[in-house]
Structure 1
Amino acid sequence: MAILPCLVKGMRDYSSLQLYRRNYILSIIRSIYALYGFEPIETPALETRTTLTGKYGQEGEQLIFNVLKSGNFLGGIAEAISPTEHRKLKPLISDKGLRYDLTVPLMRYVAAHQHQICFPFRRYQVQPVWRADRPQKGRYREFLQCDADIIGSLSLLCEAEILKLIYDIAAQLGIQNFCIKINHRGVLSAITDPEKETLFCTIVDKLEKIGFQQVVTALQEANFSDATIASLSLLQNFKGSNAERLIQLQTAIGHTDQGSKAIKAFTDILAQTHTLGLPDQVCAIEPTLARGLNYYTGLVMELTIANSLVGSLGGGGRYANLGNLFGATGLVGVGFSFGIDRLYDIMEAQNLFQSIPTYSTEVLLTNMEENGATQLLHLLRQLRVDGFKSELYPEQVKIKKQLTYAHKKNIPFVVISEKAGSVNHYCILKNMQTGVQNRYSWSELCDALRTALAATC
């Protein structure tokens, strides 16, 4: 019985066209990361449960893909646990999981190699992550993240550089109507009980998804005070420019220690980004922006598109305590992560892929009955020696079929070799886009092809 060719929900295959486009996005991101002095690292897909757990909050940890222990993972379990205590079952049958993000593995890596690393450590990482989430538009179970982090510095210049980096990448990709929203955890800390701050941020993080009234209901059910809810409502209604919002924040929370620190951080960071060349209107203070991950402690940021249902195109912020969990006391960091899949969706919706090459092969060498195989292989070898991405059609079939093949693969040029046996071999170079054909000797072909390809770029 044949196996049904189906995908696991939330996972995707990628066609050549999609990969050409994704690779274009990645090339822009990597080039700008390098421009800013970030260096690449990679970490394994699997991490231990002790590495992954205790960092993302209760809701985040429910989305970790746990991997079963090898061998008889159920041995002795029936006697050790009752069926109703399923949460206790995970550590008994699983000691590892697929990485949830790239930040926690980064801090594990830094803690393990801190004596070899030069600080401040600027690293970038482009790798897939996995989340056992409910699949929907713009949300997948496997997706590619592109992180850039600066580890080992408390300077707010790091935040300013990250914000300018986000802008440079979005602008270079040609994305329209984007905005970088920023907030500071001190803003939310200033209006809630310190012991319930993590829960408060987790609930407020759902604001755009479920709406303000449902957030209020959730806060009431979690026994948050009326004063906290009223303060959140006040922040929700702030309007105007960043300068005007800073004035409103000063009035609302400037009298608190957390609030005054947040306002000072906003003021310094915005001044530094202005000097770096970040347009003032691109970056907007959003006092209710929370970012749901537990490890953020300072500035948080998101890249968003106006009037889009895709959600944020990336997020990040400052974290101060992750290093402590791995024995690297005092190692603070700040970073940002782009979601490639959402970037792709937005760029496709905004028709930004029109000028990106969608082919690998540059020239197809046709295979005709009257041509000798030896001569064709010799020409194919010469084309590749000269650096042309080329292929020989493997079968001797009608020219129409071979041209159709070239058209479907978006191959820009086709070489049709004339009958072998003459002293001076000639061939036809056909431009598949314009239909123009020119006749060249074999000695002239490579120069003509190089000129023709340059003209199409």
Structure 2
Amino acid sequence: MAAKPSIPKGTRDFSPVEMAKRNYIFNTIRDVYHLYGFQQIETPAMEMLSTLMGKYGDEGDKLLFKIQNSGDYFSGITDEELLSRNAAKLASKFCEKGLRYDLTVPFARYVVMHRDEITFPFKRYQIQPVWRADRPQKGRYREFYQCDADVVGSDSLLNEVELMQIVDTVFSRFNIRVCIKINNRKILSGIAEIIGESDKIVDITVAIDKLDKIGLDNVNAELKEKGISDEAIAKLQPIILLSGTNAEKLATLKNVLAASEVGLKGVEESEFILNALETMGLKNEIELDLTLARGLNYYTGAIFEVKALDVQIGSITGGGRYDNLTGVFGMAGVSGVGISFGADRIFDVLNQLDLYPKEAVNGTELLFINFGEKEAAFSMGILSKVRAAGIRAEIFPDAAKMKKQMSYANAKNIPFVAIVGENEMSEGKAMLKNMETGEQNLVSVEELIAAIR
């Protein structure tokens, strides 16, 4: 007996209905990106490991899917190295390529490789899958799509303001209520400086970023484990648990970070973004959240994260400013800022809240019943005109029993059925049946098109 087929954990098949929903998500995001002047690019699914490694911190490096070299990958490896069972060292010998972990690092590589063809500032968007060797759980997959927009070659904070407008517009179109959280890595650096732990900024931000997931006590335990003193941890508490309005938080931070130049710069940047957005009339809440750290090492300025208010799920959008990312590929001085919509999590949120518009998920609008060769030939002529009018239509390919053909229409949720027999052909018309109401009318081609549209 053949083994039952399966797919890897953390991956999914998508049915036609699910694909219609996903395309609604992609098309909505794509339309908004176009409104703001972004252009689309694509990069390969696999990159050289040298491009990916070291860009996401130690935790990110562990989650990279590595691709085994083809051919004799044992050549050049000694017996001693094989017997050492050192997985990391052997992987570096066996694997030269890896599946992309996100779209930002490949984009930075793209910018460096195509710098002579690009007009700066360069506003690009990219909608493609990424892969992470993570533990699958609700809302977290090993293969998932990201929908990124980035601007490189401009230091202006207007880019951050526009990206937050894009976030607000997209989720307003989806009718998902969200909270847009913002922070600044310069503020976090300033905090690390004033508590006397500047060299531990990465450890501090990685730990703080987990506050929502593991709670304050576990964050403090992780900080202690990383060698941060009890005194510094104590100083950190009132800062990361700061409350009040955005203006009150900024006022407090100006006092707390008075001795830190970099910290005050972060406060100034955040104040500009928040003040500008206040005049834009956003439909969703925007909150300065000091616990937001975004664990990725390459962020250097403003950082963003979006949480759905009506569904328990992780971040559904994130991003930030990464001034020095292209520098690791030999192109210094190119500033960048970007956001990434988590399409798979948005898919789950829209499903749970049942927010898909009916027209977005409906497929075929009209099915022609097939009674035989003559009737099918006549129906095909009408079909051409119907499709030319932009109506999604099909004909049942076989002259099967009427019951079978109607069951097909019901299974596919096709709202209209056209019945063409000898009587209809003699009049040059079709019997149009509304599958929801059961109403039937003999109509001309023009009337049929008008009724469906």
- Alignment TM class, shorter chain as reference: over 0.9
What CA distance in whole angstroms lies between the structure 1 residues aligned with 2:144 and 2:397?
Answer: 37
Note if contact 2:319-2:340 (Cα within 8 Å) is conserved in structure 1: yes
Q: Which residue of 1 aligns with 2:29?
A: 29
Is 1:214 matched with 2:218?
Answer: yes
Partner residue, 1:257: 261
Distance 1:150 1:428 in 2: 55
Map 1:18-57 → 2, pairs under 5 A: 18-57=18-57
1:150 deviates by 0.6
In 1: Cα distance, 2:385 partner to 2:359 partner: 27
- Structure 2 CA distance for partners of 1:308 and 1:358, relative to 1, 3 Å: closer
8 Å Cα contact 2:311/2:352 also seen in 1: no
Q: Can you list the C-alpha shifts for 1:303-351, whole angstroms capped at 9, x where unaligned?
A: 0123643111011000011110111110110000000011111112222
Which piece of structure 1 moves more, 263-272 or 288-297? Answer: 263-272
d(CA) in 1 for partners of 2:12, 2:248: 45
Whole-angstrom CA distance in 2 between matches of 1:423 and 1:270: 69
Q: Which runs of 5+ in 1 are unaligned?
A: none
* Residue 381 to residue 162, structure 1, CA distance change in 2 (3 Å): closer
Partners of 2:424 and 2:102 in 1: CA distance: 62
Instruction: Answer whether contact 2:57 2:296 (CA < 8 A) is retained.
Output: yes
Name the CA shift for 1:133/1:370 in 2 (closer, same or farther; >3 Å).
closer
Q: Is residue 2:452 matched to residue 1:438?
A: no
User: Structure 2: how far apart are the matches of 1:65 and 1:421?
Assistant: 60
DSSP-derived class of the 2:270 partner: helix
The answer (yes or no) to whether the contact 2:147–2:342 under 8 Å persists in 1 is yes
Query: Partner letter of residue 73 of structure 1?
Result: Y
2:181 & 2:232 partners in 1: Cα distance? 22
Query: Does residue 1:112 correspond to 2:113, yes or no?
Result: yes
Is 1:228 matched up with 2:227? no
In structure 2, C-alpha distance between the alignment counterparts of 1:159 and 1:254, rounded to whole Å: 25
1:317 paired residue among 305, 316, 320: 320
Q: 1:395 aligns with which of 386, 394, 398?
A: 398
Partner of 1:138: 139
In structure 1, distance between residues paired with 2:243 and 2:138? 30
Q: Partners of 1:421 and 1:294 in 2: how far apart?
A: 69
TM-score w.r.t. length of structure 2: 0.94
Aligned to 1:245, the other structure's residue is in SS state helix
User: What amino acid sits opposite 1:146 in the alignment?
Assistant: C
Query: For residue 284 of structure 1, what is the amino acid of its counterpart?
Result: E
Alignment of 1:7-406 (within 5 A): 7-79=7-79, 81=81, 82-176=83-177, 178-192=178-192, 193-278=197-282, 282-306=285-309, 308-369=311-372, 371-406=374-409
How far apart are 1:74 and its partner, in Å?
2.0
Q: TM-score, normalised by structure 1?
A: 0.94
Q: Is the 8 A contact 1:428 1:439 kept in 2?
A: yes
The one-letter amino acid of 2:331's match is A
1:235/1:72 CA distance change after superposition, 3 Å = same
AA matched with 2:49:
R
Q: Which moved more, 1:38-47 or 1:182-191?
A: 182-191
1:277 CA displacement: 3.1
Is this contact kept in 2: 1:426–1:439, CA < 8 A? Answer: yes
Query: Alpha-carbon deviation of 1:386?
Result: 4.7
Deviation, structure 1 residue 354: 4.8
Q: State whether residues 370 and 398 of structure 2, in contact with CA within 8 Å, keep that contact through their aligned partners in structure 1.
A: yes
Structure 1: how far apart are the matches of 2:63 and 2:297?
14
Amino acid at match of 1:5: P
Distance 2:181 2:425 in 1: 70
Deviations 1:273-312 (A, max 9, x none): 2233335x71100012110101001111100123643111
Q: How many residues align?
A: 448
The alpha-carbon deviation at position 420 of structure 1 amounts to: 6.7
Q: Could you tell me how far apart the structure 1 residues matched to 2:335 and 2:145 are?
A: 24
**Alpha-carbon distance between aligned partners in 2 of 1:307 and 1:230, rounded to the nearest angstrom:** 34
Q: Which amino acid aligns with 1:212?
A: L
Answer with 155-164 or 393-402: which moved more.
393-402
Is 393-402 or 54-63 further displaced after alignment?
393-402
Cα gap change, 1:108 to 1:142, in 2 (>3 Å): same
* Contact 1:164–1:277 (Cα < 8 Å) also in 2: no
Residue 255 (structure 1) shift:
2.5
Q: Alpha-carbon deviation of 1:372? A: 4.2
C-alpha distance in 2 between matches for 1:360 and 1:120? 40
Deviation (angstroms), 1:414? 0.9
CA contact (8 A) 2:189 2:201 kept: yes
Give the 3 Å change call, closer, same or farther, for CA 418–134 of structure 1 in structure 2. Answer: same
Q: CA deviation at 1:449?
A: 2.2
Separation of aligned partners in 1, 2:67 and 2:147? 24
Percent identical: 44
- CA deviation after TM superposition for structure 1 residue 378, in Å: 3.6
SS in 2 for 1:297: coil
- What is the distance in 2 between the residues matched to 1:4 and 1:239? 54
Segment drifting more, 108-117 vs 95-104: 108-117
* 203 and 115 in structure 1: CA distance in 2 versus 1, 3 angstrom threshold: same
Counterpart residue identity of residue 416, structure 1: I
Measured at CA, do residues 422 and 54 of structure 1 come closer, stay the same or move farther in structure 2, by a change above 3 Å? closer
Asked if the contact 2:389/2:449 (under 8 Å) is kept, the reply is no
The answer to whether the 8 Å contact 1:418/1:426 transfers is no
> 1: distance between equivalents of 2:102 and 2:244?
34
Give, in whole Å, the separation in 2 of the partners of 1:202 and 1:9.
26
- Aligned-partner residue type, residue 113 of structure 1: H
- Look up the SS of the partner of 1:337 in the other structure: strand
Task: Tell me how large the CA RMSD over aligned residues is.
Answer: 1.9
Instruction: Mark the CA change 1:396 to 1:179 in structure 2 (over 3 Å): closer, same or farther.
Output: same
Please identify, of 201-210 and 113-122, the stretch whose mean Cα deviation from structure 2 is larger: 201-210
Say if 1:415 and 1:430, in contact at 8 Å, map to a contact too: yes
Q: Residues 125 and 64 from structure 1, CA distance in 2 versus in 1: closer, same or farther, beyond 3 angstroms?
A: same
- What is the rounded CA distance, in whole Å, between the counterparts of 2:428 and 2:308 in structure 1? 57
